[in-house]
Structure 1
Amino acid sequence: RAYSHELYRARHVIENVFRALKRWRGIATRYAKLTASFIAAIHVRCLFLYLPVHTA
């Protein structure tokens, strides 16, 4: 079966981001009932996933 290696790699990255988002309890249980608050929580979590964490 033929498939696109680049497309499969991009899908894998996206699925890993969703897995990391679901592991965060605030998003998984949806504490924020307003849509704007929920989207803001997703943005904050994505920033934590994207930015490197430096501990001194």
Structure 2
Amino acid sequence: MSRYESDKRTGSAIIIDHKTDKVVQTFELEDYDGNVEKMHSACDNAKAEFLIKERKEATQE
């Protein structure tokens, strides 16, 4: 199972798939009207969706 990590230290947030070591999604602060909390929430929700999808795929194999 891959792990997803979010990095929110800058004006953007990213989700990295450690299995492939690739960025799978990027969140830009400007897309959330400069609201850091909204951006972090969206990033956390997307990370959870990736993990749920991966677990479903793993149980179907």
TM-score range, shorter chain: 0.3 to 0.5
Higher strand proportion (structure 1 or 2):
2
Structure whose alpha-carbon radius of gyration is higher: 1
Q: Which one scores higher on RCO, CA 8 angstroms, separation ≥ 6?
A: 2
TM-score normalised to structure 1 length: 0.47
Higher helix proportion (structure 1 or 2):
1
